[in-house]
């Protein structure tokens, strides 16, 4: 019943005009990365507000919602999952972590990944380092979103000033063909650089000549303009 109430509440907040914009923004056309995704046109702050009312949803109910093709319903379900994780004990966190990884087929757009995986996958693996190899398995997946989960989950590690896994997974994904991976890796490298510029420079000196241009641009975004231009021209 609670899950049906959640779905009804989201439907009641739909905005058809905004939905059309989001359909284009998230590339939902035929052959695009978000093909078939359906939007209601609800802002993320509103979804967070609604999610707080439904924290008692079971994982079974969350799974039912994640199987729906409406984007905001999946994102709201994932926000609920993040909130539940934060309030859980260690046993419950393990259950939520395993559940999250069982649902990657439904965590299938970049915002669904970015808003949720550092807080669940990143947090869990940082505190359970013996299971960290899962990130490397995801990084070598054929699934675009699992690869993005692998690199974006390390955002939690970066916040704890632990950069080794971000660097290692960036090397695995260096030759990936998808622009969304180039952007994700570049973003995480930039975050490393904000904490420890020398670690980023060491990576760049080894790889900048072979990095996809988008990845390089993202990674050096916080550098001074003159320094950025040197990296882009290959003068270092």
Task: Quickly list DSSP for 40-69.
Answer: ----HHHHHHHHGGGTT--HHHHHHHHTSS
User: Per residue of the chain (236 residues), what is the pLDDT tens digit?
Assistant: 788 999 999 999 999 999 999 999 999 999 999 999 999 999 999 999 999 999 999 999 999 999 999 999 999 999 999 999 999 999 999 999 999 999 999 999 999 999 999 999 999 999 999 999 999 999 999 999 999 999 999 999 999 999 999 999 999 999 999 999 999 999 999 999 999 999 999 999 999 999 999 999 999 999 999 999 999 988 77
Domain final residue pick, 108, 128, 154? 108
Are both 100 and 132 inside the same structural domain?
A: no
Domain final residue pick, 81, 108, 135? 108
Model pTM score: 0.95
What single DSSP character describes residue 27? Answer: T
Are both 160 and 85 inside the same structural domain?
A: no
DSSP for 146-201, please give it.
HHHHHHHHHHHHHHTT--HHHHHHHHHTTT---HHHHHHHHHHHHHHHHH-HHHHH
Q: How many residues does the chain have?
A: 236
Domain final residue pick, 53, 74, 108? 108
Q: What is the rounded CA–CA span in Å between residue 15 and residue 29?
A: 19
* Three-point CA angle 9, 103, 11, nearest 5°: 15
Residue 169 sits in a domain whose CATH number is 1.25.10.90
């Amino acid at each position: 019943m609670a899950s049906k109430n959640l779905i009804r509440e989201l439907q009641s907040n739909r905005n058809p005009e905004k939905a059309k914009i989001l359909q284009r923004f998230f590339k939902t056309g035929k052959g695009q990365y978000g093909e078939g995704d359906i939007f209601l046109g609800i802002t993320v702050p509103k979804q967070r507000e609604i999610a707080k009312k439904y924290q008692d949803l079971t994982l079974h109910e969350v799974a039912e919602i994640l199987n729906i093709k409406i984007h905001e319903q999946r994102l709201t379900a994932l926000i609920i999952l993040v909130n539940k994780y934060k309030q859980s004990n260690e046993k419950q966190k393990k259950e939520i972590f395993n559940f999250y990884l069982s649902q990657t087929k439904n965590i299938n757009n970049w915002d669904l990944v970015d808003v949720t995986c550092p807080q669940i996958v990143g947090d869990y693996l940082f505190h359970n380092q013996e299971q960290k190899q899962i990130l490397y398995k995801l990084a070598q997946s054929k699934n675009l979103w699992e690869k993005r989960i692998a690199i974006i989950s390390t955002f939690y590690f970066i916040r704890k000033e632990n950069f080794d896994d971000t660097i290692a997974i960036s090397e695995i994904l260096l030759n990936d063909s998808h622009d969304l991976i180039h952007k994700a890796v570049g973003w995480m490298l930039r975050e490393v650089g904000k904490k420890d510029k020398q670690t980023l420079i060491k990576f760049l000196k080894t790889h900048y000549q072979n990095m996809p241009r988008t990845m390089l641009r993202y990674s050096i975004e916080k550098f001074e303009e003159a320094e950025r231009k040197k990296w882009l021209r290959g003068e270092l």
